[in-house]
Every structure is written in structure tokens, then in C-alpha cells.
Structure 1
Amino acid sequence: MTPDQGRTGQEPTAHEPTDRSPAPNAAPSLRPLVAEDVYRLALPGDPTLHPAGDRIVYTLTTQDAERDRPVTELWEVDAVAGPARRLTTGPSDSSARWSPDGDRLAFLRAPEAGDGPAQLHVMPASGGATLPLTELPLGAGAPVWSPDGTRIAFSAPVTPSDTIDPNAPLVIDRVDHKIDGLGRRGDIHVHVHVLDTRTGKTTRHTNGEFDAGSPAWSPDGRQLAFVAASGPDADLTGHSAAYVLDLEDGEPAEGAEGADRPRRAPSLRPLGSGMATAGAVTWFPDASALLVTGNASIRASHLRLFRVPLDGGPTVDLTAEFDRNVMPGGGGYPGAPATPVGDAVVFCAREHGSTRLYRLELDGTITRLPLTPDAGVAGCSIAEKVGRAAVTLADVDTFGEIAVIDLATGVATRRTEHTAEALAGVLVRRTQAREFVISDGTRVDGYLMRDPDAPTPGPLLVDLHGGPHNAWARHADPYHPYHQILAALGWTILTLNIRGSDGYGEEFFTAALGAWGKADERDVLEPVAELIAEGLVDPARVALTGYSYGGYLTCWLSARSDVFAAAVPGGVVTDLRTVLGPSDCGGLLVDSELLDEQALVANSPITEVARVTVPTLILHGAADDRCPPAQAEQWFHALRTRGVPVRLVLYPGQSHLFILDGRPSHRVDYTRRVVAWVTEHTSSRNAL
């Protein structure tokens, strides 16, 4: 399928999964991947399994080169056999959810022209006309069906006036006044709504100067659990909690009018003693307690699963003895919300970089489902009656495909082949796992990508992940195509899960708290020295890149070491003192990560900038509210005025995560610039 198919009203296209054996690491019939292949990517995600367990609807994101945008459509595939087929033609359809009886499919759809927010829609399971369900001024969030299928809960942004004047002054009273990707939000807050599918009426059930979301129905459909940061200083403390709302209680809020008038409940109170934050929430089948993903502290630590009784009893940490980070899913962090299944809970956690599925029994026993080694899970939908789950499963040869998992055996069956179809004739190189033992005894996982026939010693690119608590995995990666391109040019690519990376236990996860750069720099420099000593790498041709925290560490290391011939930091933080206010998460940076205000100076790359001599290319989204562009500009100015070769590239309109979901032309440009910069500056250094 080419990127532009399916957007002209033609009949749905069918794709039968093929029984292709994994391609060898080098095959003469396959060409190397190139930057323009970004336009050919087809990435499935967010599977939802029919209640009967026989059909899967999922999103498929492709790239519209002509309009320079990603396009997301809904596709369907049978759980056992048969081809995948397109259900909708986008351009922005997402968050599909089956009704409990399996007769209808609710989902979000944004207007074709991009002029307006996403609204809830519904379509018959058998196909047919799609009907809009909401027309809210600021749009709606993902649908959550009530157990009887008569109502849909969702969160949605609202303002006191339900209108936005783009020219009105922004009055700011809280530090959480912006969100990366959405910009400044003024007096906008997100609240819980319920739509009656029989009458079409929408009612808002929370109200106030706080955000409430992640609604979850009780088994009898009389109550809604949700998460809110409703404390008076929640923007400063970062605290959030789970709440339960009785839908049959409460009166309309004073002064509220219209169909979506908010209701006030008489007895809302936070649940979960001993918890500092609450995220994804759902109900245990007997409705006696909530299953909540959260933390006991604001300080950076593993997410855990808590049993929170509704009767006020003690909160129980169900994963207290499980030394891994629970992964509920999110932008750049694959996973899925935990789901009770009978007398157990199925959840995601990261193991050595890959997100895996686990099963938690009532006695506290936790077992990992025996999926393919090096496979990674993103998104999980369960049909309990048939003991089956649908997931997006990435492995060493695919960027992610829809797969069905037998929950009793852990056996996974891949049901789509979008990677093979989109990149037919293109070689997708595998990485090889490598462990490095650092001088203090710490073991650091790395992954090497290279052409085994490339001459040695050769050039090396070290790529550092963000977070700082993200992690590299061995499965195929669609977001860093320059790895594949450089490997075809004879480079070795080294990715490292340094201290602070996820998937190696809490002690490793928190090892760089309060010591950014200083605690983890040896985890980069010593593996590079080892590869040089082995004769694999030319010491004059070593380049360094990284994004977000990886961009921060790239700047830090370019000041602390002279081993690098070229540096390409992206989405950078360079001055921790000046990022606190402008960043959408800067307010909690000291309490959660740095632990001491003294680190704002001591651990800032800008403090060491006078030592930098390496030619540097800075790549940054111009609308980045996570790591604001001023951080990139400050680094650029400091290097330029010191005579260091430097270039700054800003991508208009692009947020922090644009390298994942931004304009395809910008992602292609990013790829080309990384390749050009490191090849140019390592070649010139070698010539000297």
C-alpha cells in the first residue's frame, strides 16, 4: 500500500498476512533504507478486541506526502484468519472502542480540513453510516462505554464561557498553564462528561479549576471512577488522586445551563492513602476496590499497581516486591493500562528495554507471558470470555504489528504485515545485544547495529535516549531511520541503556537522581573506549547524538570529553535554571529529578560550555513546550560566540514529540541532517 491510497473514497483494501521468513541481515535483493522511506511507514496501534474475541479494530498511521501530515485510519482484522481491511479513510480517526454488545464502534474523528477538534462518532459494527455524537466547542476525549451500552463517559476540555478568544489576554494563576503539543491553555480545564446514547444529551459531571480524566465505569454502571489533581496547589505539588462519583447523586452546579451542565456530587473525596499520584484507574470485578496505577512519592520512581478499597481501608501495593516499572502507556512510552481478568490482573512492565505482558495473581505471584524474545508490547485489549488479548507487538523485523495472544499459554499470533508491505524490497537491519561492564561494576546494556562486512575500524554514532527514564529496545525502530542509513554507509550504531534507564530495577532507575550527567557519563564514555580498544571503531570518527534527555547529555558530554568529532543534540535542555518556568513539566523538576537546587547550576551543560570544541548541530521543535526552544538558542549562542562550528535548525509548529508524530517532511529533514552532519565532520577530522 502506498501512503496516498485510501483517501479518495475507494473500496476498502484487503491485506492478507504473509508467511515471510525474517530477512537475513544483508541480502543482495534488498536495498538500504533511505530518508524518504519515512513517507512509506505504516504503523498500527491501539487495538480494540471485540467482546466475542473474534475481531480487532486498530489504528493505522501512514504519511500523506502531498499534504505533509500523518494520516490515521481505522482498520479491522479477524482474530484468527483472513486479511486486514480499511474501515475508515481518516485523516484523523482514533480511540476506537466496541460497545459491550459488540454492535457499535465509538471513536474519535477530527475534521478533514483539520479545522476543529476531534469529536465522538459511532458506526455500526456491520458497517454503514458514521454518526457524530458530540459537537463540543473544544472537542471530546476517548470513549468509555457503560456496561449496558447506553452511555459513554469521556473527558473533554472546557472553559467557563465555552469559547476561546485568541486575542484575549491570558490570565495565569497556576504553573501548569501550558501543555506540550497543545500550547498555552489559559482557563481551559479537562472534566468528566457522560453522553446518553439514547437521547444524545451530554452532561458534565465534574467542575472546577482542576483537571479530571481517565473515567472508568463500575461493574453495575452506577458509579464512575476518575483521576483528578484537585488540590489547591496541585500544580506545585504534583499530587493527584482517584475519586468515585455516584451518578445518581448530586445537583446541577450553580449557574450551569445547557446540555453539558456540570453536576456537583456531595461527597467527592480522594481515595488511596499513602499515594502521591494516581494515573490509570479501573475497577476490580466485585466493585469493592479500584485498581490504580500510581506512585507513593513525587520523587522519580517506578510506577506501581495499588488496590484502593472503596470503604476507606488500607491501600495495598500489589507490586511492592516486583522490581520493575509498570507501563500504562503514553507518548513515547509503550504499554497499556492494567486490566483485571477474573482473579488476576494483566499489566505491562518494561524488562531490559522491552515492554512485556505480566500476570498478577491474587496471592501476589507475578509471571511474565512467554512472548517472543526481544518483542515489545504497546496497547492491549482483552476479551476475558475467550481468554484472548489483542496487542501491538514489535520485534526485531517489524516496527509493530497487530497480534493475538492466548492468555493461558502466552502464544502470540501475528495478524498483520504492515511493515513488510510498506517497506517491500527494503532491508531493515537488526541490532545485536551487547553488555558493557563499567569500571564501578555496573552492567550497562547496549545494542549494536552494523554491516558485518563493513571495514574496521570504522565510524561510530552513539545515540542516547530521552526520559531520562526511557530505554532502547532491540526490536525494529521506525523513529530513528538514520541508524539504518548510517549502518549501510559502514557506520556502527551504538545505543545504550545507561543509568536511569527503565527495565533494570528501581536502584538502576534512580541511579542518576540529583546527579544528571555526572552519574551516567561513564556509562557512555567507557563503552566507546571499549569498542575503540577492540579495533571496531576509529577513534577519530566518533559522533554523538541524542534527543530530550539524550540531547541534554549530548551537550554535557561534548563539554566533558574530547572523544567526539561531531555532536547532534535534539530537543535539548542546556540550562536547568532557566527551564523551570518555561517548561510544561519544569515546576516539578527539582522535587522529582534533581532533588537539590544546587544541581541546577552544577549539572547544567551551560556551566561547562567554555570547554566545548566539537562541531554541533542543534535540532529543535520551534513549538516545544517541554524543552523550550530558548534552551537550544542559548546553546547555539554560547558556541557561536566562542567560535565553535555550530548550526541551529528550528522546525516551525513542531512540539517536543515531533520526531515521533510530526510533519513527515520535518522528520525526513531531521534524518538527512543527522546523516550529513556526522559524515561531514567525522570525515574532515579523519583527514587531519
Structure 2
Amino acid sequence: MKSEHLPLLKSVSAPAVHPDGSRAVVAVVRPDFDADAYVGQLWNVPVDPALRPRRLTRGFRDTAPDFSPDGQVLGFLRAEAGGKPQLHVVEASGGEPVVLTDAPLGVSAFTWSPDSRSIVFSARTPEDGRYGTVDGVSAGGEDARLITDYQYRMNGVGYTADKPLQLFVIAVPDLEEEPRVAPAGRALKAAKAAEGGTAAAGLPEARQLTTAATDHNGASYSADGEAVYFTAALHEGSDEDLVSGIYRIPVDPEAGGEGPESVPLGNTGRLSVTAVRQSRDGLWLYFSAQDLGVEGRDFVARNTALYVLPAGGGDAVLLSDPETTDLSGGGIEPRGADGALVLNNARGTVQLLEFGPTGQRGVLLDGDRVVSGAADGGGTLVLSFADAETAGDVAVLEGGRLRVLSNFSAPLRDAAGIIAPQELTFASGDGYPVHGWLVRPAGDGPHPVLLNIHGGPFAQFTGALFDEAQVYAAAGYAVLMCNPRGSAGYGQAHGRSIKERMGTVDMQDVLAFLDGALQKFEELDAAALGIMGGSYGGYLTAWTISHDHRFKASIVERGFLDPVSFTGSSDIGWFFGGEYTGRTAEQMAAQSPMARVEQVRTPTLVIHSEDDLRCPVEQGQRYFTALKQRGVEAAFLVFPGENHELSRSGTPHHRRQRFEQILQWWSRHLPTAANPAPAGGTANNAADSSAG
């Protein structure tokens, strides 16, 4: 795969399964260089093997499909070029979509009522005078912000307190009726004077359900349709912790109550609730959550567990073992009358599990794949997944066996070729097993080696198709990826082993994995090594090159590089560094790449994005400057308009340019036949190739 093949990299949403089980609808989205944006449509995927998938819509970017419970209507989000996603509905049998909303900042998500007559949606609601709500007032002309809380910004969102995520309910129009016509002339004047104002746009009126100045997430209807459940941090002192709870609000204001009511969970500790769904029979309330310890901030490597609560009241019961199971891979989907589907991170894979109110019913699907979504309709279980051969496809689970229904990655395989990763395990210095993969280029070698370190740190590499590894392998590099201690998917003890010990056993593990691969495979060139990583991977790369000088060059991307300045500049800085490194100056210095920058000798490319609020650009700026001041060869690549997610969801142009710049850096220091040194240039050597 080359950077030019990015438009062939298609991502597939979680499936929406028709209530009769005959078909599923998914959103298929891809980068597009011409639009310099992500484009995509909805696809109809029949379960019948005699029928082929077909494109269902033709919008610029159509996402988040979901059938109404009666199967008559399909809801989805559509964004026009340069516009915000708005809620649309269309007859399930096909037809012209009807737009329902005109939210200034777009609609984030939606959920159907059980009777299919209304929809609850979430949308960020800006304060008057901000974000274009007043003509002529630009971002630079807005009023000043007075900030008194820790939690006021979020990477990819920006400021949050002045545009909280609120819930709205809207009636679904009869799609057989004559289309609404926007008023004009005298009718337009009357409509503007009327309450609501949405009639002026010819849209049904949406009624706001929530008002608190905080985000209201994961809304879902109760089984009887009388209320909506959601998660939020509405408790006293919520700015001091990471705790969130479950709340219930009546949909009909005449049903009584003054706003959301907290759902008591019983003796469950201090939790961060991430999803909540009621069982279809209405008897049980399932929710997923992390236990954050006594202070409500101990998030480090806390696995997400599944709980169940009697809908009529009572204490929540823990259903999964958080020491061994991590259900953070997705939300909760009802199955049958009283069951729930969840996704589990497990040793570089994501499994599909089913639970009932008394515990786990089984592992429905495991193996070398990543399940990204699943849904049940009419007794048919459909899922979306990725593996070594596909970036995303749809399958049906029948009798415990997977039958693939689509082939969305075929153009990528045909044009670019896909190199299957080889799974490996090597012993660390203390005998601890380190699990990972090698993506090996074609040919006999010797191949230069890139040691790639993932972010997080509580995240995992998987064996599924990974564009970065494919691009580097196609350029002639052997790519090594592993999940050292600190990673997700191997139990809480594995993940928490680097709490207040960053740069210890995690560095030991990645270097042991590198050494194990070099010893096992003669075609890997031990004299031509590079190291790279982003976010926490940027941290561990910078930390490693201050200890080990065998690498010819390195790339430190969007790194967590100085715990001290991170505390006040990052959106998560007020808690992240303190929980991972400890809070004292001595602890921070003992785990800080900036504190050891004078030990670095390796030529280093520092990559950062200007709008990164997770690891702010000052982290990269200061690290690059410190390297330059010490005479280390360094370069600083900065992307305007991008945030922490550049490598995953940045604009297609910037993603392609990033790959091109990375390969140029490696061509200078680790040239290959497929990625030769620049004309007139030679490969540069590190100042000292010995370990230290």
C-alpha cells in the first residue's frame, strides 16, 4: 500500500439490521483527495447469499444508519460538503430522504422511540453570540471566556462549556404525506414571529429535553417509550473527578418531574458510566463502566465492565470480571428479550460476547479479527469487522460460523496488495511474554526495521489491516508492533504495571520484542533500525532514544513529552500526568523525556498538529528546540488545522503528506530499494550505535 491508495481505505460502520432480519445497512466512508474530505454513503447488505450489496444513498457523507423498530423508516445522518451532519429519514423501501434538523453545530447521534413515531437526538448547543450564531461576529470577535473549571476543552471539539451536548426530541413526519414547503413572503414573516422558529425552515420543531451545562451522552429510550436514559456528570463536585452516572428523563413533560433524575446504582463504587441500554423486555438495565477508585480519578488501565440493574430498582450487579475482560470496544446492543451484546478487547483482537442478567452466555465470535459493531434483528446476528485482509466488511453469524456478506476492501487488495502480519511472542528481560506482530516486506532482505509503538498507553495493536504498517512495508521496511506492559487487552495488571513507572517495563518490553525478532529472522537488518510512535508512542520513543543509541533515526509524533507543562496545557492534563507519573516534581522528572533530552543522540523528526489539545503543540516545539540546542539533527513537521487524530482522521491531503514526509525522513536515514536515499544524499548514521 502507498499513500496514494488512501481513498481505497474504506471504513464500515456498525450494522443496522432490519427487524425482519433480511438485511443490514452500513455506512461506508473513505478519504477523498479531490474533496479533501471523508465521503461515503449507506449500503444495503442482504443476508441472502444470492443477492449483492448495493449503494442505498448518494449523499456527500451519509453515516449512522438505524431502522425504526417497525422497520418502515431508516434514519441516518447526512453532511453536505463543508456542512454539519443533520438528521434525515427515508422510507426503508427507498425514496427521497427528508431532512429533520438544522442544528447549528450538527447532530451527533440519535435513537428511535419504541413506537417509531419520534426520535431523540443529541446536538451541541452554542451560546448566543458564539460559533456563528450572530451574523458578523467571527470567532475572533466573540466575547472573552471566563474559565473557572478544570474541564473546559476537549481535543477535536475545542471549548465545551459554551456548547454542551444536549438532548432533543422530534416527531417523525409521515413520509407518505406531501413534502413540507418552506414558507415565503407573508407566511415567512409570520413564521419568524411565531415561537419555535424552526417552521421558517420548513422543518418539524425539536423540543429540548436537557439544559445543564454539561454533555449528555449515549441517549436511549426506555422499553415503554416513556423516558430516555443517558449518561452525564451532574453530581456535585463533578469538575474534580471523572465520575459519571445514569440519568432518566421523561419524554412527555406532562408526565411530571423537573428535569433528569439520577438512577441509583447501589454499592458500586465511583464509576465512569460509558453506555446504558434497557433490555427489550423492559426488566433489566445494562450499563458499562469503569471503577475509578476512591477519589474518582484513578483511570489508569481500568477495564470497562458490564453491570446489570433491575429496571424497577435495586442494586447493580457486576457481570464481567474487570481484571480479565475489557468491554471498551463498543457500546451495548440488546439481543433477544433480555440479553446484551458487547465487544471485548482481547490480546490484539476484539471479541463479540453475549450476556444475560445472570452473567455471560458465551463468546459468540473470537479469532484474529476486530469486531467493530454488531446488531440482532429478527433472529439474525450481523456484525462489522476488520482483519488482516480487510479494513471493514459485513458478515452474518450463523450456527457459530461467520459468513461474509461484503467485499469492500477488494479494490485496495487488488491495487495495493496487502501483507499479512505474522504473530509473534518473545520473552522480556524478566521472562514476561510480549505479544505482537511483524509485517515483513517482499524479498529476501536484509530489511531495515521500524519499531512502531502505539499510543494510549492503554490501547492495543491488533492483527487487523493497519494502513501505517502496510505503507512502511511496501516501502521496504520490516515493521514491528507489540503490546508492552501498559497496553490494553491483556488484563488490568498488565495495563497498570506502568502506573507511576512509565518508561520502565514498557521500554524493556518493546526492546525485548525488537531483540527477539532480530534473533529469529536473519533477513531483519540489526544495523539499520528506526523507532517511531505517536502520543504515548511518541513518549516511549523519546524516552527510549535517551537510553538506547542503536537507532539510526526516530520519529516522535504528537508526544507526551513533558509532564510538567502538560498539566496546564492539555485537555486531560489536570489529571492524566498525575495518575500516570505521580504528582511530585521528582516523580515527573524521573519519567520525563524532556528531563533526559541531553542524553539523546538520534536524529529525530518531531511531528505535531497545531490544534492538538490532547498533547499540545508546545510539547513538540520545546522538544524540537531542545534537540537543536544540543546539536542533535532534528526537524519539526507541523500540520495546520489538525488535532490529535491527524493520522486517523485528518484531512486526506494531510494524511497523504504525512506519509510522504515520514518516508522522506526514513529514505535519508534508512534507505531501501523502494524508498531510496535522495539524489546526491547519503544515509545518515546515528552518533553512537551502541546501547546505553
Q: TM-score normalised to the size of structure 1?
A: 0.87
Report deviation, 1:581: 2.2
Alpha-carbon distance in 1 for matches of 2:512, 2:127:
56
1:185-200 residue pairs with structure 2 within 5 A?
A: 185-198=160-173, 200=204
Name which of structure 1's ranges 656-665 and 428-437 shifts more when overlaid on structure 2. Answer: 656-665
Aligned-partner SS, 2:574: helix
Q: Please tell me whether residue 212 in structure 1 is matched to residue 179 in structure 2.
A: no
Match of 1:589 in 2: 576
Aligned-partner SS, 2:481: strand
Match of 1:319 in 2: 320
Pick one of 574, 578, 595 that aligns with 2:565: 578
CA distances 1:203-252 after superposition (whole Å, capped 9, x unpaired):
11111222212111111101111101112432320111001123345699
Q: Please tell me whether residue 50 in structure 1 is matched to residue 37 in structure 2.
A: no
Q: Are the counterparts in 2 of residues 249 and 265 from structure 1 also a CA contact under 8 Å?
A: no
Q: Please tell me whether residue 525 in structure 1 is matched to residue 511 in structure 2.
A: yes
Evaluate the alpha carbon distance shift between residue 126 and residue 338 of structure 1 in structure 2; reply closer, same or farther with a 3 A threshold: closer
Aligned-partner SS, 1:369: strand
Alpha-carbon distance in 1 for matches of 2:284, 2:40:
36
1:425-440 residue pairs with structure 2 within 5 A?
A: 425-440=415-430
Structure 2 runs not aligned, ≥5 long = 132-136, 175-203, 672-682, 688-692
Name which of structure 1's ranges 155-164 and 97-106 shifts more when overlaid on structure 2. Answer: 155-164
CA distances 1:399-421 after superposition (whole Å, capped 9, x unpaired):
12111223xx3211111111112
Name which of structure 1's ranges 119-128 and 353-362 shifts more when overlaid on structure 2. Answer: 353-362
Q: Are the counterparts in 2 of residues 433 and 448 from structure 1 also a CA contact under 8 Å?
A: yes
Match of 1:395 in 2: 387
Match of 1:459 in 2: 448
CA distances 1:437-461 after superposition (whole Å, capped 9, x unpaired):
11212111020111464224x3111
Report deviation, 1:50: 1.0
1:32-111 residue pairs with structure 2 within 5 A?
A: 33-81=1-49, 82-111=51-80
Match of 2:679 in 1: none
Evaluate the alpha carbon distance shift between residue 430 and residue 608 of structure 1 in structure 2; reply closer, same or farther with a 3 A threshold: same
Match of 2:190 in 1: none
Q: Are the counterparts in 2 of residues 172 and 186 from structure 1 also a CA contact under 8 Å?
A: no
For this pair of structures, how many residues does the alignment match? 629
1:465-484 residue pairs with structure 2 within 5 A?
A: 465-484=454-473
Evaluate the alpha carbon distance shift between residue 273 and residue 95 of structure 1 in structure 2; reply closer, same or farther with a 3 A threshold: farther
Match of 2:618 in 1: 630
Query: Structure 2: which amino acid aligns with 1:180?
Result: N
Alpha-carbon distance in 2 for matches of 1:328, 1:147:
26
Match of 1:27 in 2: none
Match of 1:304 in 2: 305
Aligned-partner SS, 1:441: coil
Name which of structure 1's ranges 604-613 and 46-55 shifts more when overlaid on structure 2. Answer: 46-55
Pick one of 490, 501, 505 that aligns with 1:515: 501
Name which of structure 1's ranges 314-323 and 468-477 shifts more when overlaid on structure 2. Answer: 314-323
Report deviation, 1:685: 4.8
Query: Structure 1: which amino acid aligns with 2:467?
Result: P
Evaluate the alpha carbon distance shift between residue 322 and residue 521 of structure 1 in structure 2; reply closer, same or farther with a 3 A threshold: closer
Query: RCO higher in 1 or 2 (8 Å CA, sep ≥ 6)?
Result: 1
Alpha-carbon distance in 1 for matches of 2:274, 2:129:
27
Alpha-carbon distance in 2 for matches of 1:266, 1:428:
50
Alpha-carbon distance in 1 for matches of 2:579, 2:86:
35
Query: Structure 1: which amino acid aligns with 2:494?
Result: F
Q: Are the counterparts in 2 of residues 120 and 141 from structure 1 also a CA contact under 8 Å?
A: no
Report deviation, 1:601: 2.4
Q: Please tell me whether residue 420 in structure 1 is matched to residue 410 in structure 2.
A: yes
Name which of structure 1's ranges 561-570 and 318-327 shifts more when overlaid on structure 2. Answer: 318-327
Alpha-carbon distance in 2 for matches of 1:645, 1:277:
44
Query: Structure 2: which amino acid aligns with 1:303?
Result: T
Match of 2:197 in 1: none
Evaluate the alpha carbon distance shift between residue 499 and residue 174 of structure 1 in structure 2; reply closer, same or farther with a 3 A threshold: same
Alpha-carbon distance in 1 for matches of 2:37, 2:249:
40
Q: Are the counterparts in 1 of residues 353 and 365 from structure 2 also a CA contact under 8 Å?
A: no
Aligned-partner SS, 2:575: helix
Match of 1:19 in 2: none
Aligned-partner SS, 2:670: helix
Q: Are the counterparts in 1 of residues 214 and 233 from structure 2 also a CA contact under 8 Å?
A: yes
Q: Are the counterparts in 1 of residues 444 and 523 from structure 2 also a CA contact under 8 Å?
A: no
Report deviation, 1:570: 1.2
Aligned-partner SS, 1:374: coil
Match of 1:256 in 2: none
Q: Please tell me whether residue 606 in structure 1 is matched to residue 594 in structure 2.
A: yes
Name which of structure 1's ranges 345-354 and 590-599 shifts more when overlaid on structure 2. Answer: 590-599
CA distances 1:559-615 after superposition (whole Å, capped 9, x unpaired):
111121110111211101111222222222145433444433221110110000100
Name which of structure 1's ranges 583-592 and 552-561 shifts more when overlaid on structure 2. Answer: 583-592
Pick one of 219, 233, 236 that aligns with 2:237: 233
1:356-367 residue pairs with structure 2 within 5 A?
A: 356-367=351-362
Query: Structure 1: which amino acid aligns with 2:244?
Result: S
Q: Are the counterparts in 2 of residues 105 and 124 from structure 1 also a CA contact under 8 Å?
A: yes
Q: Are the counterparts in 2 of residues 512 and 520 from structure 1 also a CA contact under 8 Å?
A: yes
Q: Are the counterparts in 1 of residues 5 and 412 from structure 2 also a CA contact under 8 Å?
A: no
Name which of structure 1's ranges 529-538 and 606-615 shifts more when overlaid on structure 2. Answer: 529-538
Alpha-carbon distance in 2 for matches of 1:675, 1:266:
53
1:105-120 residue pairs with structure 2 within 5 A?
A: 105-112=74-81, 114-115=82-83, 117-120=84-87
Alpha-carbon distance in 1 for matches of 2:457, 2:222:
36
Alpha-carbon distance in 2 for matches of 1:547, 1:110:
30
Evaluate the alpha carbon distance shift between residue 104 and residue 251 of structure 1 in structure 2; reply closer, same or farther with a 3 A threshold: closer
Pick one of 127, 133, 137 that aligns with 2:104: 137
Report deviation, 1:423: 4.0
Q: Please tell me whether residue 382 in structure 1 is matched to residue 367 in structure 2.
A: no
Query: Structure 1: which amino acid aligns with 2:332?
Result: P
Evaluate the alpha carbon distance shift between residue 129 and residue 343 of structure 1 in structure 2; reply closer, same or farther with a 3 A threshold: closer
Identity of aligned residues (%): 28
Match of 2:655 in 1: 667
Alpha-carbon distance in 1 for matches of 2:457, 2:260:
42
Pick one of 243, 246, 249 that aligns with 2:250: 246
CA distances 1:1-52 after superposition (whole Å, capped 9, x unpaired):
xxxxxxxxxxxxxxxxxxxxxxxxxxxxxxxx22211133223223211111
Alpha-carbon distance in 2 for matches of 1:432, 1:539:
19
> Following TM superposition, where does structure 1 have runs of at least 4 consecutive aligned residues deviating by more than 6 angstroms?
none
Alpha-carbon distance in 1 for matches of 2:311, 2:237:
25
Report deviation, 1:198: 4.3
Q: Are the counterparts in 1 of residues 272 and 290 from structure 2 also a CA contact under 8 Å?
A: yes
Q: TM-score normalised to the size of structure 2?
A: 0.86
Structure 1 runs not aligned, ≥5 long = 1-32, 253-262, 330-335
CA distances 1:163-206 after superposition (whole Å, capped 9, x unpaired):
53522222323222222112223521112211122493311111
Report deviation, 1:139: 2.4
Aligned-partner SS, 1:466: coil
Q: Are the counterparts in 2 of residues 226 and 244 from structure 1 also a CA contact under 8 Å?
A: yes
Report deviation, 1:321: 6.8
Query: Structure 1: which amino acid aligns with 2:602?
Result: V
Aligned-partner SS, 2:472: helix
Evaluate the alpha carbon distance shift between residue 321 and residue 188 of structure 1 in structure 2; reply closer, same or farther with a 3 A threshold: closer
1:144-163 residue pairs with structure 2 within 5 A?
A: 144-161=111-128
